[in-house]
Structure formats: C-alpha cells, structure tokens
Amino acid sequence: MVKFSSRVPADGTDAVGSILKAAADPRIISFAGGLPAPELFPVTEMKAAVERAFDKHGRELMQYGAAKGVPALREWALHHVAEKEGIHGELENVLITTGSEQALDLVGKALVDPGDVVLVEQPTYLCAVDVFKSYGAHLVSVAMDNDGMRTDALEETLKAHPDAKLLYTVPNFQNPTGRTIPLARRQKMAELAAKYDLTILEDNPYGEIRFAGQHVPAVKSFDHDGHVCYMGTFSKTLAPGFRLGWIVANKRIVDKLTVLKQSADLHTDNLAQYATVEYVQNNDLDAHVEEISALYRKRKQLMIEGIKKYFPSAVKYTNPEGGMFLWVEVPGVDDTVAVFKECLKNNVAFVPGDPFFAGKPQPGAFRLNYSNMAEDQIEEGLKRLGEVLQKYVK
Ligand SMILES: Cc1ncc(COP(=O)(O)O)c(C=O)c1O
C-alpha cells in the first residue's frame, strides 16, 4: 500500500471534480465550470505570435530559462500593474508563474506551517482552500456582505487571531460570488495588514473584465511596506491554456518564491512567455479585453433576466459588474447537492456552494458561470433550473 503524505486529500473528497465530470455530458447545459468563452480566443493572432517568437528566439525558447521568467514579460507585467492598478515597483518585484494557481501554491508553501492561521473570505475560491489546507493551515473565514469582505469582521478576526499569517482575498468580481470590495475597505485592509504584520495575498484574475461601474484600485496600491502580494494572470484576458501568471511583491518574498518555484518546475514554459510578449507587443490586448467584457455583459444580463423570469421570487442573487460568476441563495434548502442532482436530471448544472466554504457551508447557495454558454443556452438553462427550484421554495 502506498503511504501517502498528510497533504494528499482523502479518497472521495474531490467533490468538484465529480460535479464537473457529471456536468460534462453534452446534453447538459452547464453553468458549473469557470471557462472563458473560447470563441473569443485570438487564435490567428496568437499563431502569428508563436511564429514570430520562434523566428526571433528559437534557440533561447527551446533552452532552459530563468526561474523568474522572460525579462520582457516581467517588464510588461510591471508596466501593466502600474497602468491598471497603480502598483509601482522594479523588475526585481516580479515573478512569472505557471498560472496564478502556482502563485497561490508557492505563497502557501512559503508562508504556511501546519497550524498557522490563514484568513479567507466566506465563501472563497475553492482551490485556495485546497492549497492552504495542503500546507496544514488553520483556515478562519471572514464574513462578507454584498460589498465583499467586511473589514469590521476582519478587524474582529484579527483581534481574536493577532498572529494570523496570511489573508487571501479576491477583491474584484470574486469567485464564487461576483462581489467587489470598495475602495475604503481596501485601504482598511492594507492598514490592518501593516498593524497586525499580516501578509495579504491579493488575487486578481477578473478585475479587467469589468462591464459596469468604476474601476477600484488594488489593495496593493495602498501598501507602503510590502505586506501585500499581488497576483495577476493571462487566463481570463488571453487564454488559460498557456498557464501564465505573475506575482508582484516585495523583493525578499519574490526571491524566496523563486527558490521554491525552481523546486516546483524550474521555470514557466518559454514558448508561452515569448509568444505572449509578441502578442502584447503587436496586438491591442485592451481592445480584446473590451470585446470579452462586452460579451460577458450580454450573457450576465441574460442570466439575470432568466433568474427574474424563472426563479422563485424569494431567491437572492448577486448582480456583478464584471467577471464570470454570480452567486445564488435559495431559502429553505438544506441540501444543495440534492438540488444539484435533481438539476442534473433536468439537464442543467451549477456548482453547489459547499466547497467554497472553509468552515460551515451556507445551505442553499450555489455558483453560476455565465461566460461559457451561448445566449440561447443561458435562457433555456435558467428555465430548467427554475423548474427545479420552484419545487424547493414554497
Ligand atoms: C480566484 C482565482 N484564482 C486563481 C485562479 C487560477 O487561475 P490561473 O489560470 O491563472 O492559474 C482562478 C481560476 O479560475 C480563480 O478563479
């Protein structure tokens, strides 16, 4: 018998894997996954970028590369976060990662010893829960309202856990709720991090996919002493398949993460990095992101209209100003997985809320994705969902 480490999840605990597998049946209209709209991938432009990358850097890109990443891509990331988020630094503050998922894992590995307190939003990104758990974190959830994490609750939690090491947050169009934290709360978060010597891991995969409201600057832009690590990714703006992300943090942290990254994969794929540099230098990424946002705006709107039309009126839902997800709360439901199973029979799927909670789950809550289904399927899918929900809400 293999003697697995305590990091390895127990058999039968991959609830989300089973849900996504069940939802993959082509007859099912699935709002379960978190995939971008593939019809907008700039395939032709990227193919040309790959060719140019080979023409210019063929041997370099086929050779081993630097753990911190291709300098031109790090330069791009540095300018990008300065222009979009008001985050200023030097090249030494940037590390290219294999998707932001790797940044999450490296930060978990670098900071978390078994038993350390890690604060997360309630609910939060489920893979972050898995990462921090794998390093033995004692996860403590911080309450949210419609404006994301409540900073009064954060302060109370920090008073109770003054030695908390890390706070993980997705401040823009959070996965799973779609909520966005307003400016004053972000300032407060940065203030509390300095006061309690807490590291904040700010994860921003969705911030640029804004289709309503005003941009809010990153928590990192209010950080004066290196307490905030900021993560970005190309996954939602260009393509998740290239596995390209970046982290901007204080040099000491970046250097430690670089050593850990070397042990994980030596460096991020060179072809993806060089080709992406070519893409951003020769194409208008902002215009591309606007196109994505316009499509998601339309799809989100259709989803909201479907909810209003087909769901029982007691059902609550978020109405995000960007990103890919919205969050539904159905009163009177104790077993969300039972609702999910019934929806599957009706050929429609979502992700039940339970795995997004580090602590006790909120019954009757679930996540809907609106980026990946065509418009006619959104209407039909909401109708099917509504038929099931009507049975649960009296
Ligand atoms: C909040 C959040 N963080 C990180 C990731 C991982 O993204 P990447 O593709 O950059 O690894 C995702 C993916 O959906 C996400 O929703």
Q: Give, for ligand 1, the residue of 96, 126, 127 to mutate: max count of ligand atoms closer than 8 Å to Cβ.
A: 127
Strand order across the beta sheet in which 365-369 lies:
316-317, 325-329, 365-369, 351-352
Q: What is the pLDDT of residue 230?
A: 98
Q: What is the pLDDT of residue 24?
A: 81
Judgement on whether residues 61 and 158 belong to the same structural domain of the protein = yes
- Measured in Å, residue 87 CA sits from the centre of ligand 1 at 20
Q: How far apart are CA 191 and CA 199, in angstroms?
A: 11
Q: What is the pLDDT of residue 144?
A: 97
Residue 1 falls inside a structural domain: no
Which residue minimizes the CA distance to atom 14 of ligand 1? Answer: 34
At which of 248, 282, 316 does a domain end?
282
131 ligand 1 Cβ < 6 A: no
- Measured in Å, residue 205 CA sits from the centre of ligand 1 at 6
Judgement on whether residues 27 and 130 belong to the same structural domain of the protein = no
36 ligand 1 Cβ < 6 A: no
Q: What is the pLDDT of residue 148?
A: 98
Q: What is the pLDDT of residue 35?
A: 93
234 ligand 1 Cβ < 6 A: no
387 burial level (CB within 10 Å; 0-12, 13-18, 19+): middle
- Measured in Å, residue 169 CA sits from the centre of ligand 1 at 12
Judgement on whether residues 112 and 204 belong to the same structural domain of the protein = yes
Q: In a 3-state reduction of DSSP, which class is residue 267?
A: coil
Q: Give, for ligand 1, the residue of 97, 98, 101, 237 to mutate: max count of ligand atoms closer than 8 Å to Cβ.
A: 101
- Measured in Å, residue 391 CA sits from the centre of ligand 1 at 34
The domain tally of the chain equals 2
At which of 217, 247, 282 does a domain end?
282
User: What b/e sequence results for 116-137 when a residue is b if at least 16 CB atoms lie within 10 Å of its CB, and e otherwise?
Assistant: bbbbbbbbbbbebbbbbbbbeb
Q: Give, for ligand 1, the residue of 105, 174, 208, 233 to mutate: max count of ligand atoms closer than 8 Å to Cβ.
A: 233
Q: What is the pLDDT of residue 26?
A: 87
Q: What is the pLDDT of residue 21?
A: 82
Per-residue pLDDT of the chain (394 residues), as tens digits, is: 899 998 898 887 787 787 778 778 889 999 999 999 999 999 999 999 999 999 999 999 999 999 999 999 999 999 999 999 999 999 999 999 999 999 999 999 999 999 999 999 999 999 999 999 999 999 999 999 999 999 999 999 999 999 999 999 999 999 999 999 999 999 999 999 999 999 999 999 999 999 999 999 999 999 999 999 999 999 999 999 999 999 999 999 999 999 999 999 999 999 999 999 999 999 999 999 999 999 999 999 999 999 999 999 999 999 999 999 999 999 999 899 999 999 999 999 999 999 999 999 999 999 999 999 999 999 999 999 999 999 988 6
- Measured in Å, residue 101 CA sits from the centre of ligand 1 at 6
Residue 3 falls inside a structural domain: no
Q: How far apart are CA 202 and CA 172, in angstroms?
A: 10
Residue 204 falls inside a structural domain: yes
Judgement on whether residues 194 and 55 belong to the same structural domain of the protein = yes
Q: How far apart are CA 112 and CA 101, in angstroms?
A: 16
Residue 305 falls inside a structural domain: yes
For residue 245, give its domain range.
Answer: 43-282
Residue 2 falls inside a structural domain: no
Ligand 1 atom closest to Cα of 245?
10
Judgement on whether residues 218 and 359 belong to the same structural domain of the protein = no
100 ligand 1 Cβ < 6 A: yes
Residue 7 falls inside a structural domain: no
Query: Which tokens is 304 given?
Result: 């909201």
232 ligand 1 Cβ < 6 A: no
